[in-house]
Structure 1
């Protein structure tokens, strides 16, 4: 009996794992297609190109890291320069179907 269940269990796990990879690939591809602040861009350049952020955090830590939140993405700065930009999850990703466990 166990020999019959094991291949099905492995197939189920591989399917769940593959589904996660697809979602990750879709988000990376979406980030490449959206106009976002690039690494090393200054705060002034980001504000000129994207407008005022919806929310700005105070600098935290050493070196100081500041976060600016826009509708679709969040920009992280070290001192005055962008270190990374992160896309927010889309509504379909947040509320989309989840694999059964």
Structure 2
């Protein structure tokens, strides 16, 4: 009986699996770092009302023009800018808060895209 065949097969499978595994690209790394940074910060949480956000985090530096609102399936989205991050509201409740970073493509959120 050949005892090297199972070992050789296992090594071959490991090499093939490693070559097929997705690699981490620089963009993926930046996104992971950004998410970790957001999680470590004290940002408004999903579901908070506008009044709660203003009470807890103060006045935003800017309240940007709202978007959407054309139908029930496209509710009004409001955006408030704070130093270093933007808070997005669906109608009057937080749906997300994101950092102002080049990776986020939101350095100038007031400009239409």
Aligned: 1:19 with 2:31: no
TM-score by length of 1: 0.67
Q: CA deviation at 1:46?
A: 0.3
TM-score by length of 2: 0.61
Q: CA deviation at 1:60?
A: 2.3
Task: Please list every run of at least 4 consecutive aligned residues from structure 1 whose deviation after the TM superposition is greater than 6 angstroms.
Answer: none
**Structure 2 residues without counterparts, runs of 5 or longer:** 1-21, 70-74, 103-113
**Structure 1 residues without counterparts, runs of 5 or longer:** 1-13, 91-101
Higher helix share: 1
What count of residue pairs does the alignment treat as equivalent? 76
Q: CA deviation at 1:72?
A: 1.0
Question: Deviation string for 1:43-80 (max 9, x for gaps)?
Answer: 00000111000000232221111100001110011111
From 56, 59, 62, the counterpart of 2:63: 56
Aligned: 1:44 with 2:51: yes
Q: For the pair shown, which has the larger CA radius of gyration, 1 or 2?
A: 2
